[in-house]
Amino acid sequence: MSDIVSLGQPTVGDEELKAIAEVFASGWLSGAGPTCAKFEKRFAEITGTDDALATNNCGAALHLGLTVLGAGRGDEVIVGDYTFPATGHSVAWTGATPIFADIRSDIWSVDPAAVEAAITPRTVGILAVDVFGQPADYDELQAIADKHGLWLMEDAACSAGASYKGRPAGSLADIATFSFHGRKGITAGEGGALTTNRADLANHARKLHTYGIAPALSREGSADLPIPNFDELGFNYRMSDVAAGIMLAQLERLNTLVQSRQRVADQYGTLLADIDGVQAPVALADRVHPWQSYVVTLDATVDRGKVAAYLKAHGIQCNFGTYASHVQPVYGFSGHLPVSADLFMRHLAIPMHANLTEDEVDRVAGTLRAAMAS
């Protein structure tokens, strides 16, 4: 069999190795150090926000954000249903209940009408998901939040480099959270970030993410011996300075990586247009889609498992899209969300990353065409 075309692949090289060497030379490898501070400053600039906080993963950033927004036992948080369960889990970690809302059939983010219909007296906030990186409908969601006195949070796990009506992902809600997992558009292998324009939330999050005290960097160089007091139960959600060094190098690549993924998406859009039973994903004109994944929708009559097996047998990696969270037994959710449930069974992710060549994209599309005809 010929070489495998990978589903996802990071773009890393000498720049990242140089960044790691610089962190090693600094002598500060642990979390929340000077390299993290540099990364946070640069990431805040890129996301158009006042504050960014580096975390060890996106789940930590989600939990931290929900905590400082005040979610807790007895509360309900409306969550876009079509997402990796880290989104729903993070709500449950606070003691609140995730109430899943159905999604748009075209871009798969939460349907604002479904959000409004799900509001009860126990609702405290809305957690929207930028599915595969394309931002949700934040103008409509903010209007609903304002009308009902709720906060709004953006799960931007896949959204680095995205924008909505000219505003960068990360700046579209009270708090946003990002992932730098190995499958994301920019990566340190693992890692995350929280962004916000609210100083009260940023200060509280920074305190809680280091066990409930100011990080050691704030005491570096002090002439006396400051001893912090623990007056609030916090967590250890810090990103290491090693990961932050990698992320600084990745931020320099961000625009180029998004452009490369757009090139791949454009090529797929042309090649897949006439394959019966396959629908290419929709990218709205008022948003910049960073294409963390490329997910096609198969007709309901198509055997997705058979198509996937054919692709894999011919060296093309693939996967399902993401999860219809409401059907996962861990949540005990009693409702039925038909759009999300349907797409969960019909979506197929095909290779998408910035390193794909034109020949590889041609090969993926040709193999998918053959799979559909077999």
User: pLDDT for 307-360, tens place per residue?
Assistant: 999 999 999 999 999 999 999 999 999 999 999 999 999 999 999 999 999 999
Could you report the per-residue pLDDT of 77-121, keeping only the tens digit for each?
A: 999 999 999 999 999 999 999 999 999 999 999 999 999 999 999
pLDDT at residue 214, rounded to an integer: 85
Q: 33 pLDDT band (50/70/90 cuts)? A: very high
B/e letters for 100-129, b = 16+ CB within 10 Å, e = fewer, are: bbbbbeebbbbbbebbbebbeeebbbbbbb
Q: What percent of the chain shows pLDDT beyond 70?
A: 99
Q: Give the pLDDT mean for 290-304.
A: 98
CB 277 within 8 A of CB 298: yes
Query: What's the rounded Cα separation, in Å, for the pair 134 and 267?
Result: 18
User: What long-range pairs does 214-223 form, CB within 8 A, spacing at least 24?
Assistant: 215/31, 215/32, 216/32, 216/33, 217/32, 217/33, 217/34, 217/36, 217/37
Q: What angle do CA 108, 195, 78 make, to 5 degrees?
A: 40
pLDDT at residue 331, rounded to an integer: 98
pLDDT at residue 68, rounded to an integer: 98
Could you report the per-residue pLDDT of 37-80, keeping only the tens digit for each?
A: 999 999 999 999 999 999 999 999 999 999 999 999 999 999 99
pLDDT at 165 over 60: yes
Query: What's the rounded Cα separation, in Å, for the pair 353 and 8?
Result: 5
pLDDT at residue 159, rounded to an integer: 98
Look at the chain and count its residues. 374
- What DSSP assignment string belongs to 256-306? HHHHHHHHHHHHHHHHHTT-TTEEPPP--TTEE---S-EEEEE-TTS-HHH
In this structure, what are the phi and psi dihedrals at residue 312, rounded to the nearest 5 degrees? Answer: -65, -40
Domains in the chain: ranges and CATH: 14-251 (3.40.640.10), 254-373 (3.90.1150.10)
Structure tokens at 174: 């009270």
pLDDT at 195 over 50: yes
Q: 218 pLDDT band (50/70/90 cuts)? A: confident
pLDDT at residue 1, rounded to an integer: 45
Q: 224 pLDDT band (50/70/90 cuts)? A: confident
Could you report the per-residue pLDDT of 118-158, keeping only the tens digit for each?
A: 999 999 999 999 999 999 999 999 999 999 999 999 999 99
Question: At residue 274, what is the residue type?
Answer: D
For the beta carbon of residue 270, count every other beta carbon within 10 angstroms.
Answer: 11
Query: What's the rounded Cα separation, in Å, for the pair 337 and 101?
Result: 7
In this structure, what are the phi and psi dihedrals at residue 176, rounded to the nearest 5 degrees? Answer: -130, 155
State the catalytic residues: 184
CB 52 within 8 A of CB 61: no
pLDDT at residue 2, rounded to an integer: 59
